[in-house]
Chain A
């Protein structure tokens, strides 16, 4: 698929972004918008900018709420992880990735070097350390582009198709609402999001103000709950937003 350009997300200025091959961030077919919102997907229509969710925006949101860690680290369950929460179940899985030497990123790491980092990281099990603190124990990095590609594979292959399946009107949702729902889906898993039945009911009806009041998750930072709520409020038509 040839690259093409689309307007940036609502409220963001600056250069437009390329959408390259393989992304599912654009709707596959235009659908009517929910309750009084214009249909989306028509090239050049004003509504297009209001409903598109580009990769650059997804990446920015993920970076804000999760974390991009280039080296191996242990998550809070002592599982070896890299990138944006990309868990590596085995050493072989780690060795299949294109790690490079931090001291010379032009040099690819050997399987033995990856094993050394793997062992160093695993030796810290049970210490509940911050991801960043593993930098001094490791010599290798996974290039940021590779980390983002791993994330994108999950977003495009799992989360966006799942959201489209969960919400019949997904393609017509305002961009801020899509951002909120993608954040919830990534955090809770698609099955976890399905447990928010009241929220889902409001979302299906385009009742963004009510969705804002029903999106609170237990066990996450107040900051992230406030961000999600603000996105749903941002999705409200200007005349009715409070």
Chain B
């Protein structure tokens, strides 16, 4: 397995540091598969949720017509209306979305946007060159390994608190361990965290290099809700890291290519 740190140049006179770093990388890599990271693949149950059977179908699925399109109001004031027919059109309009008609379709729209984003990432998927990801979902249950930004902070007060140094999901949620959720009707295994009035769930959809940086990512379905309220959240996020045992990074933006 190639690893970029082993090829990177270190400053002269820091040979000891270099050897330690290389040894650490090799030790970490020993926990990974000895072969190169696997090609992008869907996890069991993910294909049914996204309407595909393999990642190679994702690009075509972006233009598959929606069964029941959602009408959007666009731009400030929401006077412009559009009803995108498929994911590619919806993703193109995403930055301009002001609301839905009717307003009650908002939660459906959020999940649809998340699924379309997942398809877009899958369509951009490549075979990773490196991996610092564990082999199983069970291995990522410690909340200290997750960044605080994964926490569904709805208020500015909460968001500001999460941006302070050394914040992790553990400090944000007050919980040490995610609960493992057994596959339900969707067939997808997941992790769930209920704390401080929120319930957060992530489900592992696929693995591969989806953001083009050469490293293995996990594509996750992210869903959140508040206890006792109608607020719901849905996103697709990429989970990754570049050193074994490091805190994961989370990417919830659009693919770079």
Does B associate with A? yes
CB distance from B63 to the nearest CB of A (A): 18
- Which residues of chain A in 74-91 are interfacial with respect to chain B, using CB atoms and an 8 Å cutoff? 75-78, 85
Interface residue tally for chain A (C-beta within 8 Å): 44
- Which residues of chain B in 89-126 are interfacial with respect to chain A, using CB atoms and an 8 Å cutoff? 97-100, 102-108, 110-112, 115
- Which residues of chain B in 67-94 are interfacial with respect to chain A, using CB atoms and an 8 Å cutoff? 67-68, 70, 73, 76, 78
In the assembled complex, the Cα of A198 lies from the Cα of B156 at a distance in Å of 9
Residues in A whose Cβ lies below 8 Å from that of B185: 78, 125-126
Asked if A195 is an interface residue, CB under 8 A from chain B, the answer is yes
Contact partner of A187 (CB less than 8 A), chosen from B108, B111, B157, B230, is: B230
Q: Are B229 and A192 in contact (CB under 8 A)?
A: yes
Residues in A whose Cβ lies below 8 Å from that of B33: none
Q: Are A192 and B197 in contact (CB under 8 A)?
A: yes
Asked if B256 is an interface residue, CB under 8 A from chain A, the answer is no
Asked if B186 is an interface residue, CB under 8 A from chain A, the answer is yes
CB distance from B79 to the nearest CB of A (A): 11
Q: Are B156 and A216 in contact (CB under 8 A)?
A: yes
CB distance from B48 to the nearest CB of A (A): 7
- Which residues of chain A in 172-199 are interfacial with respect to chain B, using CB atoms and an 8 Å cutoff? 185-192, 195-199
Q: Are B230 and A186 in contact (CB under 8 A)?
A: yes
Asked if B228 is an interface residue, CB under 8 A from chain A, the answer is yes
Q: Are A77 and B225 in contact (CB under 8 A)?
A: yes
Asked if B155 is an interface residue, CB under 8 A from chain A, the answer is yes
CB distance from A49 to the nearest CB of B (A): 27
Asked if A130 is an interface residue, CB under 8 A from chain B, the answer is yes
Residues in A whose Cβ lies below 8 Å from that of B231: 187-189, 192, 217, 219-220
Scoring B residues 209 to 227 as 1 if CB is less than 8 Å from chain A, else 0, what string do you get? 0000000000000011111
Residues in B whose Cβ lies below 8 Å from that of A226: 76
Q: Are A219 and B154 in contact (CB under 8 A)?
A: yes
In the assembled complex, the Cα of A185 lies from the Cα of B154 at a distance in Å of 13
Q: Are A224 and B229 in contact (CB under 8 A)?
A: no
In the assembled complex, the Cα of A67 lies from the Cα of B109 at a distance in Å of 14
In the assembled complex, the Cα of A201 lies from the Cα of B68 at a distance in Å of 43
Residues in B whose Cβ lies below 8 Å from that of A66: 103-104, 230
Asked if A115 is an interface residue, CB under 8 A from chain B, the answer is no
Q: Are B98 and A129 in contact (CB under 8 A)?
A: no
Contact partner of B102 (CB less than 8 A), chosen from A67, A85, A191, A196, is: A67
In the assembled complex, the Cα of A221 lies from the Cα of B76 at a distance in Å of 11
Q: Are A189 and B108 in contact (CB under 8 A)?
A: no
Q: Are A197 and B157 in contact (CB under 8 A)?
A: yes
Q: Which residue of A lies closest to B198 (CB)?
A: A192
Q: Are A191 and B228 in contact (CB under 8 A)?
A: yes
Q: Give the most central of A66, A78, A196, A222: most B CB within 10 Å.
A: A222
Asked if B60 is an interface residue, CB under 8 A from chain A, the answer is no
Contact partner of B73 (CB less than 8 A), chosen from A75, A220, A223, is: A223
Asked if A110 is an interface residue, CB under 8 A from chain B, the answer is no
Residues in A whose Cβ lies below 8 Å from that of B70: 130
Residues in A whose Cβ lies below 8 Å from that of B78: 223
Q: Give the most central of A77, A78, A128, A133: most B CB within 10 Å.
A: A128
**20 further interface pairs, Cβ-Cβ under 8 Å (given A189-B226, A198-B156):** A65-B103, A67-B102, A67-B104, A85-B230, A126-B185, A133-B68, A186-B229, A188-B154, A189-B229, A190-B228, A192-B226, A196-B157, A198-B157, A199-B155, A217-B154, A218-B153, A218-B159, A219-B224, A221-B106, A222-B76
Top 4 nearest A-B pairs by Cβ distance? A67-B104, A189-B228, A189-B229, A223-B99
16 A-B residue contacts at CB 8 Å?
Answer: A126-B185, A127-B67, A130-B70, A130-B105, A186-B230, A187-B231, A191-B227, A198-B156, A199-B155, A218-B159, A219-B224, A219-B233, A220-B106, A221-B97, A221-B103, A222-B98
